[in-house]
């Protein structure tokens, strides 16, 4: 039986992926910010819950020690933990910038760093790092979310070169807005007296929420694709794009080039 570790397993895609892997005969190490988030896993004997705060090096080290004592062999790690922050640069707050960087980028970096020695010693392993369509293209009000996801893309590709001699594979996975709790939980800057900012925030928030609601089949597509990637790791670095939205964005950006693609985004989101 293979073993997967999934960060941010307490909700959304992380929870659905944990359940899917467990139902398909994998042992699942579900890391949670709080153990109470694992209530839906109690009837699955192959899911083991551990507390891990990916923003804390101490928490990662403590969880890693306990996890490896109980599960000395791990086949795949899915870095899924993530959050959103929608703000204008002018109105952004240091604490919120620090938090999204620590969760979305440094959390991935530190979890990979913690488990590379285990993968290297057992001479195999796989990292699947969840990014987003935000790791491929740039959209209004994505200043902080997009930059962290693009950082994970670059980090993952660079890390793959280091690990190829140890039979450790690295992949990233991008997808669009899925109907999970993610969009509802995105942190936003407060309304301001600047009319243009308020108008744009309302428009982008509604657009993304509406789009999420239409992608009903996307969560299942995501968990099935993650399972296929984990079942057959590719020795070379790979980027996997899931869903119509992410794929059409990727293709349009490549085919049209930056100037035309930027023009389309401006017309679609700003009417300018």
**pLDDT tens-digit profile, the chain (272 residues):** 999 999 999 999 999 999 999 999 999 999 999 999 999 999 999 999 999 999 999 999 999 999 999 999 999 999 999 999 999 999 999 999 999 999 999 999 999 999 999 999 999 999 999 998 776 777 888 899 999 999 999 999 999 999 999 999 999 999 877 766 666 677 888 888 999 999 888 888 887 777 656 667 888 999 999 999 999 999 999 999 988 777 777 787 778 777 887 777 777 777 76
Q: CA 200, CA 196: separation in Å to the nearest integer?
A: 6
pLDDT computed for residue 176 by the predictor: 79
pLDDT computed for residue 133 by the predictor: 79
pLDDT computed for residue 40 by the predictor: 93
pLDDT computed for residue 134 by the predictor: 72
pLDDT computed for residue 180 by the predictor: 63
| Domains, the chain, ordered by start | 3-270 (3.40.50.720)
pLDDT computed for residue 190 by the predictor: 84
pLDDT computed for residue 135 by the predictor: 65
């Amino acid at each position: 039986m293979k073993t997967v570790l999934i960060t941010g397993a307490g909700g959304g895609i992380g929870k659905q992926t944990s359940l899917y892997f467990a139902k398909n005969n994998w042992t699942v190490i579900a890391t949670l910010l709080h153990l109470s988030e694992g209530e839906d896993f109690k009837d699955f004997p192959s899911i083991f819950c551990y507390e891990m705060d990916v923003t804390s090096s101490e928490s990662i080290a403590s969880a890693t020690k306990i996890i490896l004592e109980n599960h000395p062999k791990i086949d795949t790690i899915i870095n899924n933990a993530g959050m959103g922050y929608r703000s204008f640069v002018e109105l952004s707050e240091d604490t919120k910038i620090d938090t999204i960087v620590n969760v979305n980028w440094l959390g991935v970096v530190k979890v990979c760093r913690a488990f590379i020695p285990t993968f290297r010693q057992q001479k195999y392993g796989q990292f699947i790092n969840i990014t987003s369509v935000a790791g491929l293209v740039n959209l209004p009000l994505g200043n902080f979310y997009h930059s962290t996801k693009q950082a994970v893309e670059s980090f993952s590709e660079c890390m793959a070169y280091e690990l190829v001699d140890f039979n450790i594979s690295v992949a990233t996975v991008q997808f669009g807005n899925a109907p999970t709790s993610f969009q509802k939980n995105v942190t936003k800057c407060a309304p301001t007296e600047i009319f243009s900012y308020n108008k744009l925030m309302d428009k982008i928030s509604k657009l993304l929420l509406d789009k999420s609601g239409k992608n009903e089949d996307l969560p299942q597509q995501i968990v099935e694709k993650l399972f296929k990637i984990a079942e057959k790791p590719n020795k070379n670095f790979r980027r996997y794009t899931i869903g119509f939205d992410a794929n059409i964005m990727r293709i349009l950006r490549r085919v049209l080039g930056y100037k035309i693609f930027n023009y389309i985004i401006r017309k679609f989101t700003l009417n300018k």
